[in-house]
Amino acid sequence: MEQLHGFFFVFFVGFLGYLLFSHLKIPTPAILGSIIATGVLNAAGFYPKFEIGKISFLARTMLGIMLGKQINRGFFIHMKSIVVYVLLVSVGMFVISLVAGYTIYHLSDVSFATALLAGAAGGIAEMGTFGMSIQADAGAIVFMHIVRLIFIIVLSPWIALLVEKAVPGKTARPRLQFTEELFFRKYDYVFLVGAALLGAYFFETLRVPNGPIIGATLACGLLAIYIRRTYRFDSKVRCAVQITIGLILGYNITPDVARELPQHLLPGLVASVVMLAGSVLFALILYKFSSLDIVTCVLSTSPAGLSQVVFLADEMGAEPLTTSIFQTSRLLSIVAFYPWIVMAIM
C-alpha cells in the first residue's frame, strides 16, 4: 500500500507539471511537464520508492497500444503509392541519427551508447526507457531529446515556409482521407488489452529492444486489421500514459545527474542543428523525386513528435495523412531497429 501511495504521489506531481506546461503552451506538455516536475522531485531527494519496473512495463505496453492505432487499412492503402519514398526517408533518419549521435559523443563525455540514443530521431519515451534497460545515462538521453524536440518543433513551421518560398511551386495533390467506418465494440477492447499484454510480454521475454512497445504495437495493429475495425481512446488516457512515462524518466534524474545536465545543453543544441539540416536535405530530395508539395516534404521528414508534426501539417495546408505515414514509419523503424544498431556498435 505504501508503494501505491508513492506512485500516486509522483503521478500527482507529474500531473501538476503537465498543467503548468500546458498553461505555458509548451509542446507535448504531458510528457515534458511530467519529466521536469518529477525530475526536480527526484533531484531534491523526495522521490518515493515503488516498483518502477512493473510500472514501466505497463506504461510501455500502453504506449504500444497508442502506436498500433496508426496501423490500419488506410495506412497501407496509401503507403503503396509512396513506399519507396517512405523507405528512403526512414533510412535517411537512421543516417541522421547516427551522425547526430557521433556529434554528441565528440562534444560530451557521455558513453557511446548514450550519445547514439540521445541523437536518435525517435521518441523521448522509447529511447529513454531503452537507455534505462542497457544502463545508459537515461537522464542525459532525456535532456537532449527535450532540447531537440523543442528546438525542432519551434523551427519546423518557419523552415517549411522559408523553403516553400525558396523552391519552385508544385501543386499539392488533393487531400486523402481514409477512415474506418466501424469502430471497436466494447468487448473488442478486452481483446485489444489482452493482445497488447501478450505481445508485450512475448517480445520482452525474447529480450527484443523496446520489446513491450514493439510487441503491443504489432499485436494491436494486426488485431484491428483482422477484425476490420479501428479503435480509439480518450485523450485523457493518452495524457495519463504520457505522464506515467514522464515520471518513469524523471526517476533517472538523480541529484548527481541533475548536476551534469547543463553540460549536455551545447551538445544537444548542436545535434539538433545537425538533425534539422539533415531532415531539410532529405525533404528537398523527396520533393525533387516525388509529386508531394514542399511543405508536406519538410514536415514528413521533420524529426519531431508525430502528433505535433501532423497537427502542423493540417494547420499549414499540407497533407496530414501522408505526413502521418512518413512520421509513423520513421518512429516505428527507429524504435524497432535502431536499438539493434546501438547494441551492435557498443
Can you spell out the DSSP letters for 138-158? Answer: HHHHHHHHHHHHHHHHHHHHH
Nearest to 151 by CA among 293, 272, 302: 272
How large a percentage of the chain has pLDDT more than 90?
A: 26
User: Per residue in 104-114, pLDDT tens?
Assistant: 999 998 999 99
pLDDT value at 179 more than 60 = no
User: Per residue in 112-144, pLDDT tens?
Assistant: 999 999 999 887 777 888 888 888 888 888 889
Three cell numbers at 281?
A: 536535405
Task: Give the SS3 label for residue 183.
Answer: strand
Q: Which residues of 130-159 are buried (b: 16+ CB within 10 A; e: fewer)?
A: bbbbbebbbbbbbbbbbbbbbbbbebbbeb
User: Per residue in 19-47, pLDDT tens?
Assistant: 998 998 876 788 778 988 998 998 888 88
pLDDT of the residue at 181: 61
Mean pLDDT for 89-100 is 93
Question: Residue 183 is part of a domain; what is its CATH number?
Answer: 1.20.1530
What is the rounded radius of gyration, in angstroms, for the C-alpha atoms of the chain? 20
User: Per residue in 254-305, pLDDT tens?
Assistant: 787 778 778 888 999 999 999 999 999 999 999 988 888 888 898 889 887 6
User: Per residue in 237-259, pLDDT tens?
Assistant: 888 988 998 888 788 777 877 78
State how many domains the chain has. Answer: 1
Q: Which domain holds residue 231?
A: 2-345
Taking the C-alpha atoms of residue 141 and residue 323, their distance in angstroms, rounded to an integer, is: 26
Taking the C-alpha atoms of residue 40 and residue 253, their distance in angstroms, rounded to an integer, is: 8
Q: Are 243 and 119 in contact (CB under 8 A)?
A: no
pLDDT value at 174 more than 60 = no
Residue carrying C-alpha cell 485489444: 192
